[in-house]
Chains A and B, each alone.
Chain A
């Protein structure tokens, strides 16, 4: 075996090792450092690392009052996305918001967290349906508002900013249900599992 052949083998081995290293580096980036393999994990990580402002979208609540989401600044929010025609996951969402409403501190109502349920079924969910949803879960209107965007465009912006993907046809939707925490500055800072309301509650105890 002469020197040229040896050198060629050496270089080949080196290029294999380099390919391996490059591949592992690429996958490390693609998984945010082996932390996020799914879209859900990715958006939670992104929100936590880089909080993003909620969009200025006009909403209409269960009493027909209009307000801008960005104007709710000053009070932290817990937001969820619902459609009142839902039987499964949204029932859980409703019951979990009910639990949060019961357990969250009521000390100073001006600064206390506000619960906000936003419907994405603009066609079916009018203020009357939202009111009915509120009654179903004993929503206290001072602490839990149920609303809908007034326009399709507003809804699109809202879903995009929060990273909500709605699949399926009405009246049977499937969506990546979650509980969203927006701080008093209007920044979306955390996303919690929809079936773990205690984590959302605890997050206020720790931060205050």
Chain B
């Protein structure tokens, strides 16, 4: 990732948390979870990749295999995917800023720094795990008899469930495709 691209991604994140776009994104559950949150993480990751090489190197000394960055990012994401925190981020402006900053820095920048250091085994594990989590979340949201978020309608919950199930299936299929085309095999030979 080049520095201008990193800057562009960060700019997108800034736009996503300022009033016009922010209201649009947070006004719908599906845009909140599947657009704004990924946007913040991606922007943070690009910003992390664009940091000076000396910083990358210094980070590598503390977290040589990227495991810490991965764990912190996963915990941060899990925190914001809890329906009660998603609700609070909508109704409490201070909590909203906590969400933007923590996703950008703790999930995004940290992954940008540590992600490239992750062993390929961790990436495969993550990929299958992400597929399983998406399918599980989609299933949970689709069978929940009540609204899980006080600030969103049940129809939006159903939309999110469908989208999560589709994404999960897509993640699983693309992983299987990479197995068939020998993605794993090639890496082992390298």
Contact = CB atoms under 8 A, between A and B. Distances in A.
A125 B87 CA distance: 29
A23 B71 contact: yes
Interface stretch (B15-23, B43-51, B77-85): B77-85
B131 to A, nearest CB: 22
Interface stretch (A26-34, A50-58, A111-119): A26-34
B83 A26 contact: no
Contact of A23 (B64, B72, B82, B87): B72
Interface in A22-44: 23, 26-27, 30-31, 36-42
A31 B71 CA distance: 18
B175 interface: no
Contacts of A30: 79, 82, 85
A38 B75 contact: no
A26 B79 contact: yes
B68 A39 contact: no
Nearest to B153: A174
A12 B85 contact: no
Contact of A27 (B64, B68, B78, B87): B78
A39 B78 contact: no
Q: Secondary structure of the B side of the interface?
A: helix
Interface string B146-176: 1111111110000000000000000000000
14 contacts: A12-B64, A15-B63, A16-B67, A19-B68, A23-B71, A23-B74, A30-B85, A31-B82, A37-B83, A38-B149, A39-B149, A40-B150, A167-B152, A176-B147
Contacts of A165: 91, 150-151
Given A16-B68, A176-B150, A42 B79 contact: no
Given A27-B79, A30-B79, A165-B150, A39 B87 contact: yes
A199 interface: no
A122 interface: no
